[in-house]
Amino acid sequence: MDADAVRVRATDLPTEPGVYQFRTGETTLYVGKAVDLRDRVRSYADPRSGRIRGMVKRASRIEFAVTDTETQALLLEANLIKRLQPRYNVRLKDDKSYPLVAFTDHPVPRIEVTRDPDAGAVAYGPFTDKGRVETVVKAIRDEYGLRGCSDHTYADRDRPCLDYEMGICTAPCTGEIDPEAYAEDVTAARRFFDGETGVLADPLRRRMEAAAERAEFERAANLRDRIQAVEAFHGDGGEAVSSRSDDRTVDVLAAAVEGDVARVARLHSERGQLVDRSRHRLDAPTVGAARDDGKTSLADPDDAASTPAAVLSAFLTQYYAERAFPDAVLLAERPADPDVVDWLEAEGVAVRVPGAGREAKLVELALKNARKRDRRDDPVGALGDRLDLDRPARVEGFDVSHASGTAVVGSNVCFVDGSAETGAYRRKKLTERNDDYANMRELVRWRAARATEGRDDRPDPDLLLIDGGDGQLGAARDALVAAGWDVPVVALAKAEELVVTPDGPRRWPDDDPALHLLQRVRDEAHRFAVQYHQRVRDEVKTVLDDVPGVGPATRTRLLRRFGSVENVRRASIDDLCDVDGVGETTAERLHSRL
């Protein structure tokens, strides 16, 4: 876009608070917030830095979203930066996004607290106080009986689940409520999130008064607490203003920018005692200029977004996504964005930049920590050094789980910059067979084929990690060659924690941060595979279902105890009777029928 195109677009924008995005194709280049969208976007017609000029030139359009308050704009900006990872924003690598309340795009919508709503969902938020959001959603489910189960669980049920028995779901899945009545309840719940507090507060107050009249004082007190949370929910854009009389908890923060990396050191003090410290890595915004070595420069020394003050602004909003606010924040310098300070102070946080005394010494200590470089601060870089690769920012892990060749499934998890990216997890049912090598070959071939054929919406990984030893690694490499997908791959063997590479196994020190990263990826792939295998195994119809007296719960207990139908067949009557819910009569039926 040129300057004239930006000015023309700005004239179409409202003069209200909100968030704007510079986009090209399906990619978001930059996310920003504004008190006045029109004025803020118009300023990009004459940007001050080379980074912003390059970003505007690359953009093909500007999108926006209006918010009710400046606070909501601040939180929505942080949410979008976390989710979209725009290359021209400062991005905290270990943060969490703010929770939203979503009603799914389904004929019978579910209500959920989520950080990544499904396409088509109606979402409200973002909110900083996850506990308050969950309290409100539980109150809504108690009052209106909206379902909270997944679409997979909802489909093809023949009887209501435990939520119905507990009174927090009206069981539309089995027709206990007709779709029209359920839709009215959804509408009422959405009216609350649109700002009608009484839709929920009034029935809660009636129930509280009734409980008090029946002398059910504990129940009445619980309802009173819910009413307080509900009535505070819409204050200041969904966040109640808190007040504190003293600094019982203090966070001390300082930022340092070196080249393409920014680091923030945090010291945490409780009642005057230093109890915790941590360091956090952020990506500086991309400039786009090529360096002599052919790589892209990330930090522009003339760009205000590359200063420690700007890094602190980005860190404060992104870090306190799901964390309790401290009573006070001590900073090495004032954040570049004054709205961040206003937001913290509105939440009851005292913000100070001390000039002398004990507080100033704490800030100085935090600054020393921020400037200190250590290989352990970057396990991803350490992993690249170990394997002689460029920094493998995106690592995907694979594992297979089955029970003697039945209910065979595979998992594909993803870590970005050392943190799990659950939205990029995938899983797959595989061919029923008791062959770990063939199963791994099929799983990796599936991922590789999707990538090479353009059917996978995820970026290509920098490294694949296989759960297993040399045999599983060989199967994975065969799959990659067959699909023509050129991605580095290693395996991690559980028994001795050996890193198995195409050049042979390697033993790394137990305290090696690169090994710890691989272990986290491997363990998560294993957990995700086992979890899916258990679900598939429990859902598979077996000959056990045809035995009188064996229902779904008993079938599940039998399979968990013996591992497979074949093992149930081999079990003695005494062994069968040891399973909860299986009496002598049922055991004899199983023995004769199988």
Higher pLDDT, 426 or 216: 426
Four-way CATH pick for 249-372: 2.60.40, 2.60.200, 3.30.420, 3.40.50: 3.30.420
Q: Which two tokens stand for residue 48?
A: 């001050």
CA–CA distance, 100 with 124 (Å, rounded to integer): 6
CA–CA distance, 443 with 503 (Å, rounded to integer): 23
Q: How many CB atoms lie within 10 A of CB 535?
A: 15
Which stretches within 112-161 are classed as H helix? 130-144, 151-154
The pLDDT value recorded for residue 444 is 96
Question: Looking at the domain 541-593, which fold is it?
Answer: DNA polymerase; domain 1 (1.10.150)
Indicate if the pLDDT at residue 440 is higher than 90: yes
The pLDDT value recorded for residue 247 is 55
Strand 328-331 relative to strand 273-283, pairing: unpaired
Indicate if the pLDDT at residue 232 is higher than 90: no
Backbone angles phi, psi at 398, to 5 degrees: -130, 140
Cα–Cα separations (whole angstroms), residue 256 to 49, 98, 220, 297, 516: 20, 25, 52, 17, 26
Positive or negative, the Cα torsion across 173, 175, 178, 184? negative
E strands, 87-231, in order = 91-92, 100-103, 111-114, 122-124
Q: Which two tokens stand for residue 554?
A: 């008993």
Quick one: average pLDDT of 230-255? 58
The pLDDT value recorded for residue 259 is 66
Task: Give the model's confidence band at 126: pLDDT under 50 very low, under 70 low, under 90 confident, else very high.
Answer: low
Higher pLDDT, 232 or 342: 342
Q: What is the SS3 assignment for 319?
A: helix
Cα–Cα separations (whole angstroms), residue 415 to 2, 279, 288, 310, 425: 37, 19, 25, 27, 9
Determine if the peptide bond prior to 126 is cis (ω within 30°).
yes
Angle of the 308-319 helix axis to the 338-346 helix axis, nearest 10: 30
The pLDDT value recorded for residue 351 is 92
Q: Which of 76-80, 138-142, 172-176, 417-421 has the lowest mean pLDDT?
A: 76-80
The pLDDT value recorded for residue 271 is 62
Give the H or E element holding residue 388: none
Buried b (16+ CB within 10 A) or exposed e, 409-436: bbbbbbbbbbebeeebbbbeebeeeeeb
Find the angle CA(154)-CA(155)-CA(159) to the nearest 5 degrees: 70
pLDDT digits (tens, 9 = 90+) for 364-374: 888 887 876 55
Quick one: average pLDDT of 446-451? 94
- What's the order of all strands across the beta sheet hosting 18-24? 27-34, 18-24, 61-66
Give the H or E element holding residue 68: none
Quick one: average pLDDT of 559-563? 78
Residue 40 near residue 92 (C-beta atoms within 8 A) = no
Which stretches within 350-412 are classed as H helix? 357-371, 379-387
CA–CA distance, 428 with 132 (Å, rounded to integer): 36
The pLDDT value recorded for residue 477 is 95
Range ranked top by mean pLDDT from 63-72, 225-234, 416-425:
416-425
CA–CA distance, 158 with 163 (Å, rounded to integer): 14
CA–CA distance, 504 with 522 (Å, rounded to integer): 19
For residue 290, what is the DSSP state? B
Question: Looking at the domain 381-537, which fold is it?
Answer: Nucleotidyltransferase; domain 5 (3.30.420)
Quick one: average pLDDT of 78-94? 74
Task: Give the model's confidence band at 286: pLDDT under 50 very low, under 70 low, under 90 confident, else very high.
Answer: very low
Please check whether the two domains, 381-537 and 541-593, share a CATH topology.
no
Q: What is the CA radius of gyration of the chain?
A: 28
The pLDDT value recorded for residue 410 is 95
Give the H or E element holding residue 83: helix 70-84
Indicate if the pLDDT at residue 578 is higher than 90: no
Higher pLDDT, 29 or 196: 29
The pLDDT value recorded for residue 118 is 77
Quick one: average pLDDT of 534-551? 71
CA–CA distance, 425 with 531 (Å, rounded to integer): 13
**Per residue, what are the HEC states of 409-471?**
EEEEEEEECCEECHHHCEEEECCCCCCHHHHHHHHHHHHHHHHHCCCCCCCCCCEEEEECCHH
Chain mean pLDDT for the chain? 81
pLDDT-above-90 percentage for the chain? 22
Q: Specify the amino acid at residue 411.
A: S
CATH superfamily of 3-92: GIY-YIG endonuclease (3.40.1440.10)
Indicate if the pLDDT at residue 548 is higher than 60: yes
Closest C-alpha to 63, from 26, 103, 105, 88: 26
Q: Give me the long-range contacts of 54-58 (CB less than 8 A, separation at least 24).
A: 54/287, 54/288, 54/289, 55/22, 55/29, 55/30, 55/88, 55/288, 56/1, 56/6, 56/22, 57/1, 57/2, 58/24, 58/29, 58/288
What are the extents of the domains in the chain?
3-92, 128-233, 249-372, 381-537, 541-593
Task: Give pTM, 2 decimals.
Answer: 0.38
